Chains A and B, each alone.
Chain A
Amino acid sequence: MKFDTPATNNPIDQLKVVGRPLDRIDGPLKTTGQAPYAYERHDAVRNQAYGFILGSAIAKGRIDAMDTAAARKAPGVLAIVTTLDMPRLEKGPMNTASLFGGPEIQHYHQAIAVVVAESFEQARDAAAAIRVEYVRQPGRFDLAAEAPKAKLVPGDSGEGSGAPPEERVGDFEGAFATAAVKLDATYTTPDESHAMMEPHATIAAWEGDKLTIWTSNQMIAWGKRDLAKTLGIPAENVRLDSPYVGGGFGGKLFLRADAVLAALGAKAARRPVKLTLTRPLVANNTTHRPATIQRIRLGAGRDGKLTAIAHESISGDLEGGQPETAVSQTKLLYAGANRLTSLRLAVLDLPEGNAMRAPGEAPGLMALEVAMDEMAESLGMDPVEFRILNDTQVDPEDSERRFSQRQLVECLRLGAERFGWSRRSATPGQRREGRWMVGMGVAAGFRNNLLMKSAARVRLDGQGVVTVETDMTDIGTGSYTIIAQTAAEMMGVELGQVRVRLGDSSFPASAGSGGQWGANNSTAGVYAACMTLREAVARKLGFNSAEAEFVDGQVRSGNRSVPLGEAAGADGMAAEDQIEYGDLAKRYQQSTFAGHFVEVGVDAATGETRVRRMLAVCAAGRILNPKSARSQVIGAMTMGVGAALMEELAVDKRHGFFVNHDLAGYEVPVHADIPHQEVIFLDEVDPISSPMKAKGVGELGLCGVGAAIANAAYNATGIRVRDYPITLDKMIARLPELA
């Protein structure tokens, strides 16, 4: 099905099942521990051996020799594969660093060997017995030091965020020079780790030259393609199965070392092999969100209208890598005739930087939306009103191109009202509650909506049970449930009559889970397959397919009514189709919007910032399931608290690695850090996005939260911290004297 004209009325608009806050259908399995994750597939294949991955102990250089004699003799050892056993493996287009092979080391904890043994304890012990002779080379590990050498590059997160090396509209320099009110400030964001709860894990089994992996991956079709390429085998010989993913946040978008080394280990041991990255390998062996240095210049007239906007970002990555696209949203968020964005990339020898939830916008808005707060204060304007004044309903770089829907103003207005924004003091440091200095902050949230081809197969059996098969993944997002809701709505059955099977590369290829594109596209693919199935059913019954109604488990036309199961017959029926898109995304800018409101207390004695209240008002098209969508938003808000107040991969600039590579050193929010969170979805349908009229929401909830927290901390204290995270050491020396 090609979607190239805006949606009109369709069966989804009945909203009998779609749009309802239903419990997740995978809930009983997840809450009882019965949902099987990758490392737990004891049932998948017999005789599994255990693999253990050894990571490089240097950041840059090469390996001269590896002595595996003692390890090979260790009890239980079945096979050892080292990186010296083969040349550097090919890599797929998504990977920057090599995943295995060859003597050259590109980053710390790059995989250099896998040990396969009868037990986990034996594999781990033997891996520790491998002696490695390294030749270390000096590396570039300090972004600030390398920043002056950073080159202008184009950026594309692959997740809906991107910008050319330099983009100019009007005359930024001229307008900025003559602006009545100006801001020129630099903000930094640190390297961050996805820190999903389930470390990357894979079970690999060969049957002749065919390979099956049970793994934890967000993008099944990419994984299949890239594993085949990396191993040099035909893609049709590779199968991935990933029905449950214990969190990803972008860290499992791409093929990683667990899959490659499980496959190589299984080949060498002639046994199925299961392995997982140990927690300390996750931060340095896999990808991370790169640190940024962002300079923002804003110029406005006394009336508060922006006349000049510049946002320039520098980040680092390995040779051949990508910049963090932190300026992307600045091209679209506010009006202003004279504009400049630029992206610069420094070469660093740290582990690979790549997509983490809302790449580009998450760190970009942490800078831009603080700059807007600073500018509002300079103008003597309320920060909500300042944003509203500078709203735009068209692409600021192309005034002919409208947003399909843009309710940022409504998000801000409703949020201000519900949050009690009028009680905020415009002068910082005015509100004191015991030891707490209390303040409120606001920020706009912005994230694009991406359209991706997505396919599904729908089966109907003689009992009227509908089964959906697609390689879509559920990474906690609620895919199982919204796909079931979609199929139930389309086929006119109860939710309980629908089965959903996900994550298997033998199913039709979906959009996958990334860039908040999963929900809208994967359900639109199911919509397409259901439409095809409806036509086939109607045709089989001799009904006019345009008139056939699918209601209450029946197919009706005129005065005829046939139960769905009977229509399908004993052999059942199946249909496969996909959604693909025309040029609506070019003709209209499709984005999602939020107003984030936060209240914090800053401890007057220690400078510790605690979040007291949070509200997000979101405009993101039709909300397919308000319960699971709300969870996406509160989860993202929680990650925003981490980004604002605690998360930072500490770089060892001499040895070139992230020091705090575990969940004690890399602090993420815990229960005690998170108050009750409020989310409001504006009533919106977007017929330009897809037949579902939905858009993404999973990343929107993160976009802008960090800035709202930073702005609240400023409002509480009068202290502006421009380098994240806002930890107490950056506050304490500037706090007012205790009374």
Chain B
Amino acid sequence: MESSSHLSLTRRALVAAAAATAGATTPEGADAQPASAGNSSTDAGTPAMTSVSLRVNGELRSLELDTRTTLLDALREHLQLTGSKKGCDHGQCGACTVMVDGRRVYSCLTLAVMHEGDEVTTIEGLGQPETLHPMQAAFVKHDGYQCGYCTPGQICASVAMLEEIKAGVPSHVTADLMASPQLTAEEIRERMSGNICRCGAYSNIVEAITEVAGRQA
């Protein structure tokens, strides 16, 4: 049995773990309680607030935000646009995918204050239940979702991804970098791999995207 403060325990554990699990996540909850060791800033004064103006789904929205607020939390908590989902808050799952100035981004990995004046399109901006965007309608038709939690991110990513192919942006599986990328299932799968669906609707999602892409082409 050993007795120790959290601080010394964490340091020792860090050294031990680094030796054995090179590159792995640090142990002892360094992620969940990030500043518990050597923390010096938490008893500071009031949080730094700043005004941010975003154009969200075509509408100018002005917010007074804690500078630590992610774009995702600005949307979900401050604008109550909860269609964008928080699956990991680490940029690992894609559930928070929105479009900023037409390009898809993980909104959990970017701070709201970095987007002054930016045009943000969320799932709510693509379509509503009575007026579905073609991609939303294709997801319904092909059952490209189950629990629905990754779905808005999948759909936003799909819409932006097709624009990337149109614009000639190559991917890891593009065989000829000098030619325009083709709309193959392989290209779609590769380009959509930043959006996890744990329910496993991938096969249907690819069919939905393929149908919409075919209609566009």
Which residues of A approach B to under 8 Å, CB–CB? 23-24, 26-37, 39-40, 42, 54-58, 61, 64, 70-71, 73-76, 108-109, 119-122, 125-138, 194-199, 244-249, 276, 278-281, 475-478, 627-628, 630-632, 634-639, 650, 652, 654-655, 657, 659-665, 668-672, 674-677
Contact with A along B85-119 (1 / 0, CB 8 A): 11111101101000000000000000000000000
Residue from A108, A121, A130, A655 within 8 A of B36 (CB atoms): A130
Q: Given that A58-B28, A135-B3, A631-B201 are known contacts, is A23 also in contact with B149, CB under 8 Å in the complex?
A: no
Report B-chain residues with C-beta under 8 Å of the C-beta of A661: 25, 31
B186, chain A: closest CB distance, angstroms: 8
**Are A662 and B90 neighbours in the complex by a CB distance under 8 Å?**
yes
The CA-CA distance from A556 to B143 in the complex, in Å, is 36
The CA-CA distance from A125 to B85 in the complex, in Å, is 22
The CA-CA distance from A634 to B197 in the complex, in Å, is 12
Interface size on B, residues (CB 8 A): 95
Q: Given that A57-B9, A75-B45, A129-B43 are known contacts, is A109 also in contact with B149, CB under 8 Å in the complex?
A: no
Report B-chain residues with C-beta under 8 Å of the C-beta of A475: 147
Report B-chain residues with C-beta under 8 Å of the C-beta of A127: 33
The CA-CA distance from A30 to B153 in the complex, in Å, is 11
Report A-chain residues with C-beta under 8 Å of the C-beta of B53: none
**Are B42 and A657 neighbours in the complex by a CB distance under 8 Å?**
no
Question: Quick one: which of B95, B141, B192, B198 has the most chain A CB within 10 A?
Answer: B198
Report A-chain residues with C-beta under 8 Å of the C-beta of B3: 64, 133, 135-136
**Are A121 and B145 neighbours in the complex by a CB distance under 8 Å?**
no
Question: Quick one: which of B3, B126, B146 has the most chain A CB within 10 A?
Answer: B146
Residue from B25, B124, B200 within 8 A of A665 (CB atoms): B25
- 7 more A-B contacts (CB under 8 A) besides A32-B127, A108-B29, A281-B32? A29-B129, A31-B152, A58-B28, A119-B66, A131-B5, A249-B198, A634-B204
**Are B24 and A671 neighbours in the complex by a CB distance under 8 Å?**
no
- Chain A residue at minimal CB-CB distance from B155: A31
The CA-CA distance from A568 to B85 in the complex, in Å, is 42
**Are B143 and A244 neighbours in the complex by a CB distance under 8 Å?**
no
B133, chain A: closest CB distance, angstroms: 8
Residue from B122, B127, B203 within 8 A of A674 (CB atoms): B203
**Are A121 and B24 neighbours in the complex by a CB distance under 8 Å?**
no
- Chain B residue at minimal CB-CB distance from A21: B143
Residue from A24, A57, A635, A660 within 8 A of B25 (CB atoms): A660
**Are B200 and A669 neighbours in the complex by a CB distance under 8 Å?**
yes
Residue from B31, B82, B83 within 8 A of A662 (CB atoms): B31
Residue from B39, B46, B87 within 8 A of A663 (CB atoms): B87
Q: List 8 A-B contacts (CB under 8 A).
A: A23-B143, A31-B139, A40-B82, A134-B6, A197-B93, A628-B143, A655-B27, A671-B189
B200, chain A: closest CB distance, angstroms: 3
Residue B1 lies at the interface, judged by CB distance under 8 Å to chain A: yes
Report B-chain residues with C-beta under 8 Å of the C-beta of A632: 146
Report A-chain residues with C-beta under 8 Å of the C-beta of B76: 40
Question: Quick one: which of B89, B193, B203 has the most chain A CB within 10 A?
Answer: B203
Residue from A74, A246, A247, A663 within 8 A of B43 (CB atoms): A74
Q: Which of B10-18, B162-170, B175-183 participates in binding chain A?
A: B10-18
Report B-chain residues with C-beta under 8 Å of the C-beta of A73: 43
Question: Quick one: which of A33, A73, A249, A631 has the most chain B CB within 10 A?
Answer: A33
